[in-house]
Amino acid sequence: MPPPRLRSIGPISDEARKLLPIWRGTESSNPSPSSEESAANSVQTLPPNRERECLVKERTRLVNRMKGTLARLGIRNFKPTLRQAAERLATLDTPEGTPVPPNALAELQRDLSRLGFVVGQIKQIEKVSSS
């Protein structure tokens, strides 16, 4: 049994009539590129500003992840974005005075190394785009 059709609520304007096939998916809104254009587009990478934007989001995600891990342990005064964060992480203690559990410490160290890598990539992109 075919699905029920919607009833018309009034006349359709000329602009809407032109867009109707596109909305239904029966007509493409933009012409298909030639084989040369599609091959060139498939090899392209992200533009520097978009790549930087993705990396900044990744940096924010990593910082928030680290702060969340530390907050579960009751540690609030740690800034993962500082240059000396790795050294400070090794000497960090929970508010009860116990050291950070080894599994959480290993996770934080991995996240810190990832964060350093991402920050380095952001600096590379900014260096290339500024010159």
Q: Answer whether 104's CB lies under 8 Å from 93's CB.
A: no
Question: pTM of the prediction?
Answer: 0.63
Q: What is the DSSP letter of 111?
A: H
Each residue's pLDDT tens digit, 55-89: 999 999 999 999 999 999 999 999 999 999 999 99
Residue 113 pLDDT more than 80? Answer: yes
When comparing pLDDT for 15 and 112, which is higher? 112
Each residue's pLDDT tens digit, 26-44: 665 555 566 666 656 655 5
Round the average pLDDT of the chain to a whole number and report it.
83
Largest CA distance in the chain: 75
State the average pLDDT over residues 95-99.
Answer: 93
Q: What is the DSSP letter of 115?
A: H
